Amino acid sequence: MDTNNGILLTILSKSDALFMPLRGDCFRRTPTWERRQLFADSGIEWPCVDRTPAGRQAARREAGKLQAGGDVQILGAASSKLRVRLTPAADDAMRFSIGLNDYAASLSWLDELYRLRADADGFDDGAFSWTSEAVLTGTAWGRDSERWRYVALSEAVMPVLHRGLVISNCSTQGHCWYSLTPTGLQLAEERAESGLAVETPMRADITDMELYVLYDDARRSEIERLGKVPKFDPREISPIPLPVHAPLRRFLSPMSTGAGGAVRHEPPQF
């Protein structure tokens, strides 16, 4: 892998780390949430190892080259810390090189959340209609050997999380739930009305395992780092975990039925 692709892979990994499920990690929760809010306008801090004045100048030159090539966007004032995010085209290209869902593929999960927004096993808190990772993957909680399916789901929806079309939150038990945002709901409605909605959500199919391991290692390192960084605002507590703890009825009975006895849509097994 050349230097430029290595930098792009690191930016992708660090960006995705911000949107991985927050499963009961009280130290990581608020710093991660704060950085999620900044991501759309400010991206992430440039992954610079050399923090000397000369190193920072070299980083700006490198970022400038990548920006000129259409791979990154440099965000923020020139006098501030160097912050970047991948361009949509570069984000899609890096995901494709690994075998992860690009933006177009992740929209299939936008459609799936739209179909399941009133599901009997959902949870509505008055602001958002939440669908659990268990329902979306067709895999009941409590099966340790199947937990990889929840990671695969988080990777599959990552592009729409980045764009603020979908949000996630976890319950006090560490179970992850997903919901459309108002912008995501509007887009999903438009896709459904225009016939663009996809019936079967698309899961990632890793094609370069060596590259995926590098991506995953960098992502894990960033998640660990986020558990050690301070809050931007010491008064911030971030959104609380979802106060939901109920068995999912579709996994308690051999027949899954919704309101009025109608058979509910079941997602494909991961």
**pLDDT attached to residue 102:** 97
Distance between CA atoms of 40 and 101, rounded to whole angstroms? 19
The label of the residue with tokens 């960098």 reads 218
Q: Is pLDDT at 77 greater than 80 in this prediction?
A: no
Domain annotation covers residue 250: no
| 253 domain residue, yes or no | no
Give the pair of three-digit tokens for residue 82. 């160097």
In a domain, residue 268? The reply is no
Rounded-to-integer distance, Cα 82 and Cα 3, Å: 18
Straight-line distance from the first to the last Cα atom of the chain, in angstroms, rounded to the nearest whole number: 30
User: Looking at the domain assignment, is residue 151 inside a domain?
Assistant: yes
At residue 249 the predicted structure's pLDDT band, cuts being 50, 70 and 90, is: low
CATH number for 114: 1.10.10.10
Six-digit token string for 112: 């799936």
Q: Answer whether residue 95 is part of any domain.
A: no
Q: Are residues 114 and 165 in the same domain?
A: yes
Does residue 242 sit within a domain? no
Percent of the chain with pLDDT over 90: 59
Give the end of a domain, one of 190, 205, 220: 205
Q: What is the DSSP code (8-state) at residue 177?
A: E
Cα–Cα distance, 190 to 170 (Å, whole number) = 28
pLDDT of 140 reads: 85
Q: What is the mean pLDDT of residues 165-185?
A: 94
Helix (H) and strand (E) counts in the chain: 10, 7
Number of domains in the chain: 2
pLDDT of residue 28: 87
Q: Does 44 share its domain with 173?
A: no
Answer yes or no: do 52 and 142 share one domain.
no
Does one domain contain both 49 and 106?
no
Identify whether the C-beta of residue 119 lies closer than 8 Å to the C-beta of residue 227: no
State the chain's mean pLDDT as an integer. 87
Type of residue numbered 142? G
| Residue 51 within any structural domain of the chain | yes
CA–CA gap between residue 43 and residue 228 (Å, rounded): 20
**Do 83 and 133 belong together in one domain?**
no
| pLDDT at residue 248 is higher than 70 | no
Q: What are phi and psi of 44, to 5 degrees?
A: -125, 165
Range(s) of the domain holding residue 221: 1-87+208-234
Same domain membership, residue 56 and residue 124: no
Together in a domain, 214 and 194: no
